[in-house]
Amino acid sequence: MRNFSISSSLLKIVFSKLALVAAFGTVALTSLTGCGNTGASYEPDTFRINLQAEPPSLDWQTSTDSTSFDVVSNIMTGLTMYNNDMKCEPGCAESWEILDGGKHYVFHLRKNALWTDGKPVTAHDFEYAWKRLLDPSTAASYAFFLYDIENAFEFNSGKVKDPNLIGAKALDDWTFSVKLKRPAAYFLYLTAFCSTCPLRKDIVDKFGDRWTEPQNIVTNGPFSVSLWKHEYKIELTSNPKFFEGEPRLKRIKMFMIPEQATAFGLFENNQLDYVDNRSFPTADVESLRSSPMYRNLPLLRCSYLGFNVKKKPFDDKRVRKAISMAVDRTLFPKILRRGEAPAFTWIPPALEGYSEISKSEFNPEAARKLLAQAGYPNGKGFPLTKILYPQREDAKLVVESVQEQIKKNLNVKLQLEVNEWKVYLDILHRDPPQMFRQTWGADYPDPETFMNVFTTHNGNNYTQWSNAHYDDLIDRAAAEQDQKKRAAMYAEGDQMLCQDEVPIVPLYWATQNTMVKPWVKGIGFNAMDLQFFRKVYIEKP
Amino acid sequence: MLALLIKRMLTAIPVLLVVATLTFFLMRLVPGGPFDADKNLPPAIVANLNAKYQLDKPVAQQYVTYLSRVVRGDLGISYKYLNRTVRDILGEAMPVSIQLGFTALVLAVLIGVPLGTIAAVNRGSWIDVTAMFLSTAGISVPGFVIGAFLIFIFGVWLKVLPVALWETPWHMVLPSLTLAFSPAAYLARLTRASVLEVLEKDWVRTARSKGLSRWATVMKHTLRNALVPVVTVLGPLTAILITGSFVVEYLYAIPGMGRFFVTAVTNRDYDLIMGTTLVFAALLIVTNAIVDVAYQILDPRMKVEG
């Protein structure tokens, strides 16, 4: 069969035809579609960003993830709103009174806050929303945000059946009263959070589970949802009825591009105006740092190592302290390369209660002495110890560095145990191992959100560490209305965590890396990583 | 032929039942649940969630409830994408995957079969060596590498095709090429081997000795017989391609169904895992039945007993 061959002249013809087709195709594609967008830059009055993933829900009462909140933050307004300094500004409430030593809040609603269908936002919309959030049948994960309110926990856990006993009531259309079980100094922050935004009973009743679809949803924020192509794109358009006035930006296109390199390619081709960590391959950050479009800011999210203090050898606080003192936190930013800040305390420097005295120190010599006192001179006889971490590149780099440092500084060999994310969480929930790498991000910009984690009954306290004095201190600090006293109480708690008892080793503060096209103006950033676009506008370059 | 199709459809029922049962219990064995999240929830809230989604019932009861819903055409709800049913999710994603998958399938056949035939006809020549080198590369190089390469060349460097997204027909070019690459390579190898085998047959020699030209021999007497193994793989290949590719959809930001084969598992989105698995199994059964019918058309000797 070898004589079956195509003559070389025929091949030449085929290839020359192919070359022609390719050349023609290239010209045609470029001229007809402009799809490569060689000349494209900005889209007038349109802001294009990458959400990376589908928001699991636009029901602000059942969503719990940052992707959904990125959308909700721009379509909804609560009683108050955050500014980029993370202070609460008037939102639907134009003023409020704090009575009864911080146990009673009365919010006075503005009369020009309207829903997108033109109806006014009333106190009844808040009462309905908060009761729905707490209703066990809603099964809202963030219902616990309102547990400080009278009978809220009891209703949510089924101990109280009558929703009218909950201490949140509309006194009339424009007055909303909230009674707490005890003063909570951070309570105002919760009124700016997406989960506590108002909701229209008539809309939920009419459309049932479909009320969040663009054709049904009614909102009250600066933008409204005009298109939701699931798994692909959400489009928001400016709301002319917004009480601050219609935003200058007419449209926000929020794409769901999962692959970072693809999203960054689109940014480079001017098809996205803004990218952040979700669209940034780590390797690129170093090279982009000098760009005028690049910005980096610290976030209220800490990575830490936790010890299970019920398991040997970490039932001895000298061992925990020795590990903490043998870890050089300044190495992590060099390994992770996203501009992270080393964490020496549990309370971040941006919050009240942060104190230099709480700082853990890197001192391998002292660490070795402590370890010897605990019965492990030069690491001799140290039990087999595993560090559990989830399958993520940053977690892997961090625990590998810790493993290497502990070997070098204490002559102790730690074993690494990686698990798929949900398996990792399952192990943490059921039987936390001796050591684990975990993160915590603030729910609101207050030290309470950090300090409460390590109280005895907090479900996120995987360390099993329990200290009555600490519990009492954090409980009192939450209610303390004097800011100075409160800060001092948190500083004392932080010192217990980082220096005295050491159930955890804070490692580093995460940062947000962003690139913004020069035609985007008015964009702000905040440490909670909440994306507010009501003041953004596009200016012709 | 009708009897064959009816038989295939009837055997599909126990097959789907076994698939559903195995998947249901396997996914429950995997540690972690749909509501395990970075932040652990208070027990009262976990209890509310489990009650809402009936995960507080014994697994056997959940299984019976699930099956009774599935036979009524209710594939359940997503635990991750709240307020959306599995039917909604797959109903929106499948048309995209089918569109992309069929384009890739056509491309794969149009590239793979001629390439394999030319290689076989020119066995041992540089054409054969080049074609087989290309097909070996196509099989060995992973899709994300090919995709990234194509994005870089045509999207970022030459800027003649879109980097990603799903807006115009031009947006289909790079993803369908990426998706077609590996199956085209596989089809080329398969076609080559099959054509070579048929070319050795006596009737081909007879045709040649009667003075028929070599390409006429290939086209009239060889290809039809050589295509039987190719058609065999086209069944599962079609099912695989039209249910989407995680890699291609991920890379090009395409809202297809391929991503759910991975993300439904990582999210422990139980009903969505079941939904994607059952849809894939059903498609596999349908495409295999079509292959059986195609056999009979290609080679009447291959009557499958009813």
Q: What's the Cα-to-Cα distance from A248 to each of A138, A182, A259, rounded to whole Å?
A: 36, 42, 31
Nearest of A141, A60, A44, A199 to residue A519 by alpha carbon: A44
Within 13 Å, how many C-alpha atoms sit on residue B62's CB side?
A: 20
Residue ranges in chain A whose pLDDT is less than 70? 1-40
For tokens 């596009």, the residue is A538
Of B83, B89, B166, the CB nearest to A232: B166
> Is it the case that residue B190 has pLDDT exceeding 80?
yes
Residue B302: per-residue pLDDT: 67
Interface contact B162-A35, CB threshold 8 A = yes
B215 or A26, which is more confident? B215
Tens digit of each residue's pLDDT (9 = 90 or more) over B25-53: 999 999 999 998 888 888 999 999 999 89
Q: What is the pLDDT of residue A407?
A: 97
Say if the Cβ atoms of B259 and A1 lie within 8 Å.
no
With beta carbons under 8 A apart, name residues in chain B contacting A1: 120-121, 123, 196, 199-200
Beta strand ranges found along A461-538 (DSSP E): 504-516, 520-521, 537-538
Cα–Cα distance between B155 and A35 in angstroms, integer? Answer: 9
Arithmetic mean of pLDDT over chain B: 90
Q: What is the Cα–Cα distance from A483 to A486, expressed in whole angstroms?
A: 5
Which residue in chain B is spatially nearest to A232 when comparing CA positions? B255
Contact A35 B168 (CB under 8 A): yes
Higher pLDDT, B230 or A35: B230
- 3-class secondary structure, A431: coil
Angstroms from A104 CA to nearest CA on chain B: 25
> Would you give the DSSP letter of residue A209?
G
Integer-rounded Cα radius of gyration of chain A: 27
* Distance separating alpha carbons of residues B164 and A272, to the nearest angstrom: 12
Shortest Cα distance from A84 to chain B (angstroms)? Answer: 24
Q: Which residues of B touch A136 (CB under 8 A)?
A: 44, 48, 51
**What is the rounded average pLDDT of the residues B10-23?**
94
Taking only the tens place, the pLDDT of each residue in A268-284 is 999 999 999 999 877 77
pLDDT of residue A7: 34
**Do B45 and A140 make contact, defined as CB atoms within 8 angstroms?**
yes
Confirm or reject contact between A460 and chain B (CB < 8 A): yes
Residue of B30, B40, B197, B208 to mutate, interface with A, max A Cβ within 10 Å:
B40
Strand partners, A105: A98, A178
**Six token digits for residue B263:** 């993300």
Give A 128-167 residues with CB within 8 A of chain B.
136-141, 143-144, 147, 153, 156-158
CA atoms lying within 13 Å on the CB side of residue A478: 22
Quote the minimal CA–CA distance from B173 to chain A in Å: 11
Pair A343, A507: CB distance under 8 Å: yes
Please list every residue in chain A whose beta carbon sits closer than 8 Å to the beta carbon of residue B244.
Answer: none
List all residues 6 or more positions away from A243 whose beta carbon is below 8 Å from its beta carbon.
A77, A92, A110, A112, A113, A114
Q: Could you tell me which of B168, B190, B165, B138 has the C-alpha nearest to residue B251?
A: B165
Chain B contact for A54, CB < 8 A? yes
**Residue A111 main-chain phi, psi, to 5 deg:** -90, -10
Task: Give the pLDDT of residue A357.
Answer: 86
Q: Tell me the chain A residues in contact with residue B199 when contact means C-beta distances shorter than 8 Å.
A: 1, 4
Q: Higher-confidence residue: A64 or B129?
A: B129
pLDDT confidence tier of residue B299, bands split at 50, 70 and 90: confident
**Residue A367: which residues within 8 A CB-CB, separation 6 or more?**
A321, A322, A323, A324, A325, A326, A409, A410
Q: How far apart are CA A55 and CA A72, in angstroms?
A: 10
Across residues B7-32, what is the average pLDDT? 92
pLDDT value of position B210: 86
What are the pLDDT digits (tens) for A232-271?
Answer: 999 999 999 999 999 999 999 999 999 998 999 999 999 9
Lowest mean pLDDT among A229-233, B98-102, B163-167, B213-217: B213-217
Residue A502's nearest CA partner among A318, A364, A312 is A318
